[in-house]
Amino acid sequence: MTTADSWVRYWRDGARPVEAMHAHFLDHVYPPHSHDTYSFGITDAGAQRFRCRGAAHTSGAGMVMAFNPDDVHDGRAAAESGYQYRIVHIGPSVVREVITDVTDGRSSALPLFPRPVLSDHALADALARLHAALVGTADPLVRDERLTAAVTAMTRRGASSTAPPVRARTPTDRARRQAAHRARSLLDDGYLEPIPAEQLAEAAGCSRFALYRCFRAEFGFAPSDYQRQLRLRHARSLLEAGAAPADAAAVTGFADQAHFGRWFQRVYGVTPGVFRRA
């Protein structure tokens, strides 16, 4: 996909949850979203800024971004020339498989990356080699070797074995958290159907206003944003299976194909058609 100021190239593995993208964006703005994969990126030129885990971050040339599964983040250019970056998305099952293999079965615990931006030339080099193998014509064995090397390097140099300390929650905190999770459970079960705000608030056991606040505090974005993300993830799986964009839009509850296409490109940086052909 190419425009006057931006271009995107996308690749995905047909047999396992591994994808790669190479892009240059000038004015593209990612809305708050998350991935169900680990996402490791290298900023090649320019700079991009984003919010993640309640703080602002900037990734400049040569820096590495590390997002855990379901890390909510946005993104936009932080330089007049925009930014160019390479990113790979690796499913947790693949990461666990690599770690289990590297440790001879002694560990299968998934890593946690406490810092969304890292400055580490060794990590950048490992990711660059993996990205080149994925999007190029490398032999499958080379791809596997570089995947193992990249996951191992990221885990050893950028990950923490345990989650950061969490402050003690008061009873009120717990009640709000439980309300947010009750609402999310309803969305998880019925995200393809319209869910009135009153029904969501009733399931949560609080007012609509209280629900919006506690849901955003717990998960990083509004209930409607979360529902849209679930629909987009389902649409991605349909496109991977060969569905036409129009059919994916209809099945996942979008008003029309144009509306679906706009949101898909905003969140993933690539059109549904380009993703389907990747």
In tens, the pLDDT along 246-261 reads 999 999 999 899 999 9
Residue 135 domain-assigned?
yes
Residue 118 has pLDDT above 60, yes or no: yes
Q: Indicate which CATH number applies to the domain containing 232.
A: 1.10.10.60
Which pLDDT band holds residue 97 (cuts at 50, 70, 90)? Answer: very high
Q: Which residue has the higher pLDDT, 5 or 266?
A: 266
Which pLDDT band holds residue 2 (cuts at 50, 70, 90)? Answer: low
Q: How many percent of the chain have pLDDT more than 90?
A: 76
Spacing of C-alpha 87 from chain mean position:
10
Average pLDDT, the chain: 91
Mean pLDDT for the stretch of residues 208-230: 91
Mean pLDDT for the stretch of residues 5-34: 93
Which pLDDT band holds residue 166 (cuts at 50, 70, 90)? Answer: very low
Q: What is the pLDDT of residue 141?
A: 83
Mean pLDDT for the stretch of residues 98-124: 91
Q: What is the pLDDT of residue 165?
A: 45
Residue 243 domain-assigned?
yes
Q: What is the pLDDT of residue 105?
A: 85
Mean pLDDT for the stretch of residues 18-27: 96
In tens, the pLDDT along 189-207 reads 999 998 988 899 999 999 8
Residue 165 domain-assigned?
no
Question: Do residues 48 and 112 share a domain?
Answer: yes
pTM of the model: 0.82
Instruction: Write the DSSP assignment of the chain as a string of letters.
Output: -B-SS-EEEEEE-SSSSEEEEEEEESS--EEEE--SSEEEEEEEEEEEEEEETTEEEEEETT-EEEE-TT--EEEEESSTT-EEEEEEEE-HHHHHHHHHHHTTTS--PPPB---SEE--HHHHHHHHHHHHHHHTT--HHHHHHHHHHHHHHHHHHH-BSSPPP-PPPPHHHHHHHHHHHHHHHHHHHHTTS---HHHHHHHHTS-HHHHHHHHHHHHSS-HHHHHHHHHHHHHHHHHHTT--HHHHHHHTT-SSHHHHHHHHHHHHSS-HHHHHH-
The span from the first CA to the last CA of the chain, in angstroms, equals: 11
In tens, the pLDDT along 124-160 reads 999 999 999 999 888 888 998 999 999 999 999 889 8
Tell me which of 106, 131, 158 is where a domain ends. 158
Residue 164 has pLDDT above 50, yes or no: no
Residue 92 has pLDDT above 70, yes or no: yes
Question: Do residues 117 and 13 share a domain?
Answer: yes
Question: Do residues 20 and 97 share a domain?
Answer: yes
Q: Please check whether residue 179 is in contact with residue 206, taking contact to mean a CB–CB distance below 8 angstroms.
A: yes
Q: Which residues of 133-146 are buried (b: 16+ CB within 10 A; e: fewer)?
A: bbbeebeeebbeeb
Q: What is the pLDDT of residue 180?
A: 95
Q: How many percent of the chain have pLDDT more than 70?
A: 95
Domain range for 252 is 226-277
Q: What is the pLDDT of residue 5?
A: 78
Residue 164 domain-assigned?
no
Kindly state the tokens that stand for 276. Answer: 């389907």
Residue 167 has pLDDT above 80, yes or no: no
Residue 31 domain-assigned?
yes
Question: Do residues 196 and 115 share a domain?
Answer: no
Residue 211 domain-assigned?
yes
Tell me which of 105, 132, 158 is where a domain ends. 158
Which pLDDT band holds residue 78 (cuts at 50, 70, 90)? Answer: very high
Q: Which residues of 64-93 are buried (b: 16+ CB within 10 A; e: fewer)?
A: bbbbbbebbbebebbeeebbbbbbbbbbee
In tens, the pLDDT along 24-70 reads 999 999 999 999 999 999 999 999 999 999 899 999 999 999 999 99
